[in-house]
Amino acid sequence: MAKKRKKKKRKVIFHLDLDAFFASVEMANNPEYKKVPLIVGGRTKKAVVSTCNYLARSFGIKAGMPIFKALELCPQATVLNANYELYEQYSDDFIKIIKKTFCRKCEQISIDECFLDVTKLIKKDMLPIKLAKIIQQTIFKKLKITVSIGISYNKFLAKMASDWHKPCGITVINKKDVEKKIWSLPINKMYFVGKATAIAMHELGIKTIGDLAKYENFKLLEAIFGSAWFDYYLNAHGFGDDFVSTNNSPPKSLSIQFTLPSQASNIQELEEWLKYLSQQLSQKTQFHGVFGHVVYVYLKCANRRMITKQISIKEPTDRYDIIYQHASFLLNEHYQRSENVRLIGIGLGKLTTKPCIRQRTIF
C-alpha cells in the first residue's frame, strides 16, 4: 500500500579544516614564527614543502614545491623539519575538543579535517554560523590554531565550502547556491576528483563541475570512471552523501535517492537507475560495515504521489546483486507503468553490524 513519506529534513553538516596545519602548530609553539614566512618540509636537497604559513603563500609558495624553488621565491623564509609526533598530538587534541565540547557525530577524515553532523544542535538561538564561530573561538583558545569551516547539507558541499574563505573562514552553501557557486568551478577543484580523473574529464570536454552536471552520456562516464561516476554526478547536482560516520553509532537505515534528469515512465530505464542506486547503496553499506534485513524502494511521481514499498530478506545483506534483485522485484510488482517518475530512491533498513551468513553470489 502506498504510504505518504514525510519530506526529509536537510541535515546541517560542518566540515572543519585546520589552516596551514603543520605551520600553525609550529607558530602556536613559537609565536616568533608568526612574523616570518614559514615553510615546513625539511632541509635536504630533494625536500619539498609540506605546507607553509599564509605569509609564505603570499610569495607564491605551495605544498609539494621543491624547497630550493620556494627559497628562490622567498629567500628570507624560515624552513623547519616536520615534527610529526607533535602534529599527531595536536590532531588528537583537536578531535577530542570537538567531540567533548560540541558534537559526538564527528568523522575524522585526515590529520586536520573532520565532518560534523550538527543538525540537532541547531536552534533558534544557535544558528549554524553562530555555532561555527564558537567552534573557531574554542579551538583557537585551546590550541592557538585557526580553523576554516564549511557549512552545508551534505559532506561534499561542506568540504567545498571550507576551502572558500581560508584562513579562518566560515562559508555556507545552500541548495540554491549549487548552480551559482559550484558549477562554475573547474573540475579539478571537485573534491574526490584527482589529477588523472580531471584529465580524463577534460578529454570528454568536461571542464567545469557544471559541465559534468549537464553531461548526458552516462554510459561513457561509467565506461571510463566505473561506478565512481555516479558519485561525481550526484555531488555535481548537490545530492551527495550526508551521513557522518562515527565508529560508535552505526546507522539504523541507509538510503540513496536521485531526481531524474527528465521524467521517466519506461520500466527498463527505471531498472537501470535502480541498478546504479543499488551499487551506490551497497558501497555505502559496506563503508559503514552494516547489513540490511529490509530493502525498500520509493518513487515520487509527477503527480506528487509517493510510492514506498519494502520487502524483508532472509539473510541481512550489503551486496549489490541481492539489493538490486529485491529492488527490481518491488518495482516490477508495484509500479504502474503509465506513471511518470521524477525521483527514485532505494534503501536498506533494520541494519545490523553482523551478517548471519555471507551469501554467495546469485548471478
The grid coordinates listed for 86 are 607533535
| Per-state percent for the chain, helix, strand, coil, to nearest 5 | 40, 25, 35
Q: Which is nearer to ligand DCP, 51 or 280 (CB)?
A: 51
22 binds, among ligand DCP, Ca ion, none (CB under 5 to 8 A by kind): ligand DCP
Q: Which is nearer to Ca ion, 21 or 94 (CB)?
A: 21
Q: Please report whether residue 26 would count as binding Ca ion according to CB under 5 A.
A: no
Local structure of residue 188 (DSSP, 8 states): G
Stretch that binds Ca ion, among 16-24, 101-109, 118-126, 191-199 (CB under 5 A): 16-24
Residue (of 356, 344, 279, 278) closest to 313 by Cα position: 356
- Sites for Ca ion among residues 48-77 (CB under 5 A): none
Annotation says 216 is catalytic: no
Q: Please report whether residue 50 would count as binding ligand DCP according to CB under 6 A.
A: yes
Q: How far apart are CA 137 and CA 248, in angstroms?
A: 27
Residue (of 125, 126, 188, 131) closest to 16 by Cα position: 131
Q: Please report whether residue 108 would count as binding ligand DCP according to CB under 6 A.
A: no
φ and ψ of 227, to 5 deg: -70, -15
Q: Please report whether residue 17 would count as binding ligand DCP according to CB under 6 A.
A: yes
Q: Which of 113, 203, 216, 315 is catalytic?
A: 113
Residue (of 60, 62, 20, 19) closest to 170 by Cα position: 19
Q: How far apart are CA 76 and CA 57, in angstroms?
A: 13
- CB-based contacts of 170, cutoff 8 Å, min separation 6: 129, 132, 133, 136, 148, 149, 151
Q: What are the Cα distances from residue 288, in Å, to 9, 166, 233, 294?
A: 22, 31, 22, 16
Taking the complex as a whole, the smallest distance from the CB of residue 189 to ligand DCP amounts, in Å, to: 13
Residue (of 322, 213, 344) closest to 267 by Cα position: 344
50 binds, among ligand DCP, Ca ion, none (CB under 5 to 8 A by kind): ligand DCP
Q: Please report whether residue 31 would count as binding ligand DCP according to CB under 6 A.
A: no
Q: Mark 56-73 as b/e (b = at least 16 C-beta within 10 Å).
A: bbebebeeebebeebbee
Q: Which is nearer to Ca ion, 18 or 236 (CB)?
A: 18
Q: Which is nearer to ligand DCP, 166 or 207 (CB)?
A: 166
The site string for ligand DCP over 146-185 (x = CB under 6 A, - otherwise) reads --------------------xx------------------
Taking the complex as a whole, the smallest distance from the CB of residue 22 to ligand DCP amounts, in Å, to: 4
β-strand partners of 352:
291
Stretch that binds Ca ion, among 20-28, 36-44, 76-84, 258-266 (CB under 5 A): 20-28
Stretch that binds ligand DCP, among 13-21, 129-137, 250-258, 307-315 (CB under 6 A): 13-21
Q: How far apart are CA 142 and CA 258, in angstroms?
A: 42
317 binds, among Ca ion, ligand DCP, none (CB under 5 to 8 A by kind): none
Stretch that binds ligand DCP, among 14-22, 260-268, 303-311, 332-340 (CB under 6 A): 14-22
Q: How far apart are CA 310 and CA 317, in angstroms?
A: 15
> Beta strand pairing status for 113-117 and 106-110?
antiparallel
Q: Please report whether residue 143 would count as binding ligand DCP according to CB under 6 A.
A: no
66 binds, among ligand DCP, Ca ion, none (CB under 5 to 8 A by kind): none
Stretch that binds ligand DCP, among 15-23, 182-190, 191-199, 259-267 (CB under 6 A): 15-23
Q: Please report whether residue 107 would count as binding ligand DCP according to CB under 6 A.
A: no
Q: Which residues are known to be catalytic?
A: 113
Binding interface with ligand DCP (CB under 6 A)? 17-22, 50-51, 63-64, 111-112, 166-167
